[in-house]
Amino acid sequence: MAIFDDNRFCKRFGLTTPIALAPMAFASGSELTAACARAGALGLLGGGYGDAQWTAREYSIASQMLSADNQAHARLGCGFITWRMAENREALDLLLEREQAPAALMLSFGDPTPFAKDITDRGIPLICQIQSMDQLPQAVDAGASVIVAQGVEGGGHGYSANEGRSTFTFVPEIADWLSQNAPEVMLLAAGGVADGRGLAAALMLGADGVLLGSRLWATRESLAADQAIEAAVQASGDDTARSLVFDVLREKQWPPEYHARCLRNAIHRAWEDRFDELKQAPEDARAAYREGVETHDYSRAHVTVGQGVGLINSNAKAEDIIAEIDAEARALLR
């Protein structure tokens, strides 16, 4: 029997490998999402902050790219930042109204309850990403079909370094809770997974699959700039930090418990020990950051990757990366 034939995440979503694309804002656009779906993974478009026009356009493009492949098209979904949906849910509603429903909708960073019923009543599987055990019953009660256990190793936003959990301990604790309280709910591991060893390890820890972020961020189909990806390729896992520095520089008003992991570059190092000063007078630093973004100077602009960045050695095609991770995990699990 093939390794993943009985994997319930694969069976539920028609996948050939138990991998989901993390719905990364400003990275998981139509091209990357479609490429992952074609490769047999669950493709989750990065709906992010809920720009309705962008989400509708990119989702429609991805749908068109997959229109000739019904199996791949059935793997197309989207993810949103939950607290942003509480401010403006237009992008979510546009997807709920589509004639062909998304394969899944994912909510992260906030209480999913106000939006969950609208999703599940349409027969759309709800995926909820959590960062602590106390969020788990809330997500299950909201009707989540899949829980994503996000460890602090991951890139982008997650719990602060003080409050967050390591993927290696978080996943099996959630797996045990689900087996006792909601055995029908599936589990994905997120944070620090960047190769087949990580996928195999997640499955051994009790997960049904993985949500893959940084490794797919650094691909040719990603919306990330080539110069940002090159900076990531040159970095090691020692070169990231989790903080609020880039949220201040980008003028993003995240809830205080959520911090962002990015490369610990020159502008981050300049302000990480002077954070109060940065909050009180951010204008000059923001001007330097904006100039870095405009000129692709990633000593001043942010590079959103996790601690798995040291395992990223090239800017390859997403389909090749997924095939490589899948093959390595299969070999290890045999």
pLDDT digit string (tens) for 293-316?
999 999 999 999 999 999 999 999
User: Nearest to residue 18, comparing CAs of 317, 332, 330?
Assistant: 330
Q: Residue 32 has what pLDDT?
A: 98
Q: Which two tokens stand for residue 82?
A: 């939950």
Domain 8-224+314-333: CATH architecture, name and number where available: Alpha-Beta Barrel (3.20)
Q: How far is CA 284 from CA 236, 274, 278, in A?
A: 29, 14, 9
Q: Residue 1 has what pLDDT?
A: 46
Q: Residue 50 has what pLDDT?
A: 85
**What is the domain partition of the chain in residue ranges?**
8-224+314-333, 226-303
- With contact defined as beta carbons under 8 Å apart, do 87 and 49 qualify? no
Q: Is 82 left (phi over 0), alpha (psi -120 to 50) or beta?
A: alpha
**pTM of the predicted model, to two decimals?**
0.95
What's the DSSP call for residue 101?
A: -
* Sites in the chain below the pLDDT cut of 70: 1
d(CA 41, CA 34): 10
Q: Residue 166 has what pLDDT?
A: 96
3-class SS at 70? helix
pLDDT digit string (tens) for 113-152?
999 999 999 999 999 999 999 999 999 999 999 999 999 9
- With contact defined as beta carbons under 8 Å apart, do 193 and 4 qualify? no
User: Going by DSSP bridges, is the β-strand pair 258-263/156-159 parallel, antiparallel, or unpaired?
Assistant: antiparallel
Q: Which two tokens stand for residue 210?
A: 């993985």
> How many C-beta atoms lie closer than 10 Å to residue 184's C-beta?
8
Q: Residue 161 has what pLDDT?
A: 86
User: Nearest to residue 107, comparing CAs of 91, 122, 97, 121?
Assistant: 91
